[in-house]
A and B are shown apart, each in its own frame.
Chain A
């Protein structure tokens, strides 16, 4: 190429080589094609999730403005005002001429058309409203709550929260999520780390001492760990360590969760119980997987060869076998990370952690439509990304797998 076109732009060449490196790192052209396919396939999935969630939330009896603080019903005119402000007066899915909604009869068009609209852009202290006329393209048929929301999401605008406490401060959904997501992530990521730190050694121990007392005890605890849900483990941990021994506080009362990780005793104290609750559950699965995988590898020919060479058992297990045995274990990381968010749900409620799970449950109760949508979309994105991650990890870790 460079020979035939000697004056090729050096920047183009650099971009090209960078792209090639990325493609190579990702695992070749077939992998890139596979990834593109998966991402494209994710778009209709996300759309369907949005549609289903949107319809489901709007089918719930009552709306965000029928719940007022102190169970006092809001006056009708106020509700109407709020609905207009947040666009809830629009039809849910499609705006047909019969809906009686904007624009007025006769001015409704099937085709996209240009229209002059008056937009408020501010006001003065004297009470004058500053507005200007703008020309906009509009599709009357799609001037509904759902398509308005979709249009917003395409612009990464997830709308304002409709929850009383938040809407009064004009909090946007993405701001609230940005505040809560790191809290959930702290719990989730530390739990995954703990799960691997506990699970892998347990699995190795059980496999090395296969069919001995150690194996049985380890595996019994692994099954026990899998059979103990968070709603059982968490209260017991609270009673033992928070109430009886008083080593840790029952719940964070210093707003530490939102300040983020730091190396202090208090942070470790509030982190300990939620992470142990989630981490032990994960470690149980990881331990069983590690054991099964290592046992299989220990019967492979190359391990037998290593033994036949006269290598010490420890070298055989830790150098030759373990590396390959951990491949299937690593692939569990994808579903684990995808499940981390929904996994923290329970723990957040029990330990009163101000994370996403808590927000979600609260927003369902408050009919905070936009917040429900935002959190659900986030969960789905994580889930889909986790699933794709699993496939990528497979190819990275096992060169025999290729996507065609």
Chain B
């Protein structure tokens, strides 16, 4: 029987977060292809959806990395593949120096204690036939931690931590609002006292008024518990508010990674520029002069991505080389990485 995890309180303050710059998670050339099958009697693979097609980045301990992009660009798949919920087709994921893609069975299960996930849909992410207490205690039960009584205490502690009344343990998910369900999901993710949490659009299904509450809660938890987030989102203004660094994804690949302020003030990739031009600015003077860059065409199919730079079908500044050669993600400014032939 394992010992009950105690909620750590962060020794170092939030200001010192970026100084140490210890890399917690390192993703190299990660690929996830989903096979498409067909056949008369017995099916065989005929093509593959290249949901994630060679993604490289890292996350520093204690920071929040935002992962943004249009729906269907592979952000969620990236998050799930990092956590090994989908086994990657190729590439490496190193967490605290441990290669996750090679782990199996109980070794992988042990690593899962350190990394958790918060899901997008607060209605689908909680089992309707389990009480809140059982849902939050599930990670403890799975890892065989503590006695029944200790688990109950831990659940109460966790519920309090996410701002829910511990009295709710016997209730069932359908009795809660979306925001409260998302808190339950957070409590479940925190049960094992993880270091790293993948938040897969945790607020996009919520009302705007509730969104701020959940984001604030996540920030507070980060400060108090020293968590590291991979925050997947398509709401750019929320990402700016929450994230230390932001990675922009397009059609299974990263196009730009930079520190939050840097990216928003100095976007280099034409796709990032187009994305940011669509965000309304709360200043009427600036808003007046805001020029929207309208991208032509649709996102190409991830089954058959374009040759060369995969943005070349819609890029307003593309040149010949973009149609033949794939741009690499290069650090053009300190901590500012871009994958574009036109930037260098």
- Return the chain B residue nearest A36 by Cβ: B40
Any B CB within 8 A of the CB of A154:
no
Task: Kindly state whether residue A40 has any CB partner on chain B within 8 Å.
Answer: yes
CB distance from B151 to the nearest CB of A (A): 46
For residues 1 through 57 of chain B, which have their beta carbon under 8 Å from a beta carbon of chain A? 40-41
B46–chain A nearest beta-carbon distance, Å: 11
A41 at the interface (CB under 8 A from B): yes
Task: Tell me the complex Cα distance, A41–B41, Å.
Answer: 7
Q: Which residues of A contact B41 (CB under 8 A)?
A: 40-41
Closest beta carbon of chain A to B40's beta carbon, Å:
5
CA distance A37 to B40 in the complex (A): 6
Residues of A within 8 A of B40 (CB): 37, 40-41
Count chain A residues whose beta carbon lies closer than 8 angstroms to a beta carbon of B. 3
Residue ranges of A at the interface with B (Cβ–Cβ < 8 Å): 37, 40-41
Q: Residues of B within 8 Å of A, CB-based: how many?
A: 2
How far does the alpha carbon of A40 sit from the alpha carbon of B41 in the complex, in Å?
A: 9
Q: What would 5 A/B residue contacts be, using CB atoms closer than 8 Å?
A: A37-B40, A40-B40, A40-B41, A41-B40, A41-B41
Of all chain A residues, the one with the shortest Cβ separation from B40 is A37
- Residue of chain B at shortest CB distance from A40: B40
Q: How far is the CB of A353 from chain B (nearest CB, A)?
A: 40
Q: What is the CB-to-nearest-CB distance from B41 to chain A, in angstroms, rounded to a whole number?
A: 6
Give A40 to B40 CA distance when docked, in angstroms.
Answer: 8
* Complex Cα–Cα for A41 and B40 (A): 8
Complex Cα spacing A217 to B253, Å: 63
A40 proximity list for chain B (CB < 8 A): 40-41
Distance, CA A37 to CA B43, complexed state (A)? 12
Q: Provide the residues of chain B in CB contact with A41, threshold 8 Å.
A: 40-41
CB proximity of B44 to chain A, nearest CB, Å: 14
User: Could you tell me the distance between the alpha carbons of A206 and B174 in the complex, rounded to whole angstroms?
Assistant: 33
Q: Across the interface, name the chain A residue whose C-beta is closest to B41.
A: A41
Minimal beta-carbon separation of B288 from chain A (angstroms): 39
A44 — nearest CB in chain B belongs to which residue? B41
Q: State the 5 A-B residue pairs at the shortest beta-carbon distance, nearest first.
A: A37-B40, A40-B40, A41-B41, A41-B40, A40-B41
Q: In the bound complex, how far is the Cα of B39 from the Cα of A41, in angstroms?
A: 11
Which residues of B sit under 8 angstroms from A37, Cβ to Cβ? 40
Closest Cβ of chain B to A227, distance in Å, is: 32
A36 to chain B, nearest CB (A): 8
Give the residue name and chain of the A residue nearest to B38 (CB).
A404
Which residue from chain B places its CB closest to the CB of A404 in the assembled complex?
B38
Chain A, residue nearest B39 (CB): A37
The docked-state distance in angstroms from the alpha carbon of A179 to that of B41 is 36
How many Å lie between the Cα of A40 and that of B42 in the bound state?
A: 12
Q: How far is the CB of A44 from chain B (nearest CB, A)?
A: 8
Smallest distance from the beta carbon of B242 to chain A beta carbons, Å?
39
Chain B, 265-285, contact with A by CB distance < 8 Å: what is the 0/1 string?
Answer: 000000000000000000000
- Complex-state Cα separation, A37 to B42, whole angstroms: 11
Chain A: minimal CB distance from B341 (Å): 37
Nearest B residue to A33 via CB reads B40
Q: Shortest distance in angstroms between B96's beta carbon and chain A's nearest beta carbon?
A: 45
Chain B: CB-nearest residue to A37: B40
Nearest-neighbour CB distance to chain B for A45, whole angstroms, equals 11
Cβ of A43 to closest chain B Cβ, rounded Å: 10
Q: How far is the CA of A37 from the CA of B41 in the complex (A)?
A: 8
A18 to B168, CA, bound (A): 70
B301 to chain A, nearest CB (A): 15
Min CB distance, A359 to chain B, in Å? 34
Distance of A11 Cα from B266 Cα, bound (Å) = 69
CB distance from A389 to the nearest CB of B (A): 20
Closest Cβ of chain B to A166, distance in Å, is 39
A152 to B130, CA, bound (A): 60
A37 to B39, CA, bound (A): 9
